[in-house]
Amino acid sequence: MIFIDITELKRLQHKLEDLAYYDELTHILNRRAFFEQCEAYLDHMSHASTISIILFDIDYFKRINDSYGHYVGDRLLAHVAQVCREYLGEEAVFARYGGEEFVIALPGKSAPEGYALAEQLRSQLSMRPAQIAETSITVTSSFGVAEVAHATGETLHQLLHRADEALYQAKRGGRDRVCVSG
């Protein structure tokens, strides 16, 4: 008999999986994992099902990086992810979309339900300043919400585009607000 210790191999395999699917900074799903999970959901959802997407970003994030440095900016991103995780249920698919943008998929939820959750997150983020290196930073965020029913045949990319348009409507409307795609 020959015994081989594969503990180190398994540890490395687990680490590679983490790097492939999770954002190293925020410890939430990365964009690739978000797309995989949402595409799978869209492929298998019934004609009566819906999915809502919330796309949001941190208002004036570049100013924060420029004023306090990238270390503080990174800590702020982690803070936003942590606050959001506290309010999201297990069914939500939460990911870092890129830069200071985040995305949430809510399988089985309507646009009004997505709006209510986005409004709650927006409020919580603004009421819970990040405490970073003896600095308190108040966070405001702009949100865009879009919904699709499977029967429409709309793709994930089209849904994200509509959520992005709603996000920019929120920014044009003064920031720190939630807008729903029409």
Active site residues: 100
CA distances from 156 to 74, 76, 112, 170 (A): 28, 28, 19, 21
Q: Position of tokens 């790097």?
A: 19
- 55: nearest Cα among 168, 175, 173, 176: 168
Three-class SS of residue 158?
helix
Which DSSP symbol is given to 175? S
Reading the block at residue 142, the tokens are 């702009």
Task: Count, in order, helices (H) and strands (E) of the chain.
Answer: 6, 7
- 119: nearest Cα among 141, 135, 102: 141
Count of CA atoms in the C-beta half-sphere (13 A) of 48:
0
Q: Position of tokens 């429409």?
A: 152
